[in-house]
Amino acid sequence: MTTDASGSKSSEDKCALAALAADLPSDDRGLAYGEGVFETILVREGRPQLWSWHEARLRRGCQRLGIAAPSAAELAACLAVCQGEGLEVLKLIVTGGSGGRGYRAPESPQARLRARATPFAVNQQARRGITARVCELRVAEQPALAGLKHLNRLENVLARREWSDTTISEGLLLNAQGELIEATSMNLAWYRDGRWFTPCLDRAGVEGTLLAALEAEMTFERVREGLESLARAEQVVVMNSVQGVWPLRTLLKSDGAILCEWKDEAHPALDELNHTIARLLGEPAN
């Protein structure tokens, strides 16, 4: 972004910002069919965290959906919607654009890029431990879409509607075979016998950027296991690149009965995980 002598943004920059915030037309394929991808990025004092991981996932998603990905410069320009102070969440959306007849894509699609930023505050209480529940909804398997953070999140929306109790912070999702997949908006991991485990996401679920960054530094064993694995775990956590890590202290069945509980006490594996995540998310050292 450029500025004039007074420090104000140029008219060209203002037009660019307006384009990033513009409403989508009614014939946009992202609006009509969920054709597109999005990223939610933690921004600390104007600096995006895990930027390379978010950019890589966005590009993978665009490639899988046949959408032209924005250039590196176009994505970087989206940071201009941020205030540059404190904590913010930057949301990037790329849609398949307009055109085509029905589901058929246009011959020369013109993807659309949108961005918005909102202030953010860390949920310190959740970082000390949460209550979660098992959702009744079962996640469908579709390997062609597995791992992507695509725009059609109806399963997550329906799962999140299952509870209104404010003491419940997350819901765990399973597939039709009863295998653990993820939480409604976070990845899932558990620690047992000296190892971290996390669900296989090759048939369903979202490959989280924080989990990907962690796997570059730590070992997580990908498994297909059910709720019984959590009952044997020493620690169970949910995590994402905005909220960080939330340890589970109580897991409820969908009817509200207690399924598992974990002690609220220090654990070396959880301490190491917290330390690594704090560094990855740019948190100041205590």
Note if 182 is an active site residue.
Answer: yes
Rg (CA), the chain: 20
Note if 149 is an active site residue.
Answer: yes
DSSP assignment of 4-35, as one string? Answer: -TTSPBPHHHHHHHHHHHPPPPTTBHHHHH--
Note if 272 is an active site residue.
Answer: no
Catalytic residue among 39, 88, 170, 182: 182
How far from 167 is each of 5, 9, 23, CA to CA, in Å? Answer: 52, 44, 35
Of 113, 43, 54, nearest in space to 83 by CA: 43
Catalytic residue among 35, 39, 40, 198: 40
Phi, psi of 272, deg, nearest 5: -65, -40
Catalytic residue among 39, 55, 149, 184: 149
Q: Give the pair of three-digit tokens for residue 90.
A: 């930057």
195's CB contacts (< 8 A; 6+ apart) are 219, 221
Active site positions, annotated = 40, 149, 182
